Amino acid sequence: MKKGKAILVVLKDAPLIVHDQRKGTYFARAGSDFVFDSESMESYDVILDQKELRGMNTTWYEGDRIPCINGLAIIEFRGG
């Protein structure tokens, strides 16, 4: 099945759930307004909105900015 183009407007401080192939699933919020385009956007940053997140080589703490790479991470909105 062919994937279609996805465009999503994300506003600063929007509560998110991030599903990342390397970091697992975690709560975050948008660090700034951005328009997510699944075809042209390569990466974006979110701010960790939970106590701690352990990646493969790095540990992040609440308030840290985390890089997300398109294709490895999927974001969704969460109630907040």
Reported as a single tens digit per residue, the pLDDT across 49-79 is 999 999 888 999 999 999 888 778 888 888 7
Our count of domains for the chain comes to: 1
Question: How many other CB atoms are there within 10 angstroms of residue 40's CB atom?
Answer: 10
- Residue 1 resides in a domain: no
Strand 24-30 relative to strand 7-10: parallel, antiparallel, unpaired?
Answer: unpaired
Domain that includes residue 23, residue range: 7-77
pTM of the model: 0.81
- Alpha carbon distance 44, 49 (integer Å): 16
27-56: average pLDDT:
84
| pLDDT above 80 for 43 | no
In a domain, 2, yes or no: no
73 near 21, Cβ under 8 Å? yes
The reply to whether 46 falls in a domain is yes
What pLDDT was estimated at residue 63? 97
For residue 41, is pLDDT > 70? no
Tokens of 26: 């975690």
Paired tokens of 68: 């997300």
Which tokens hold the place of 69?
């790479």
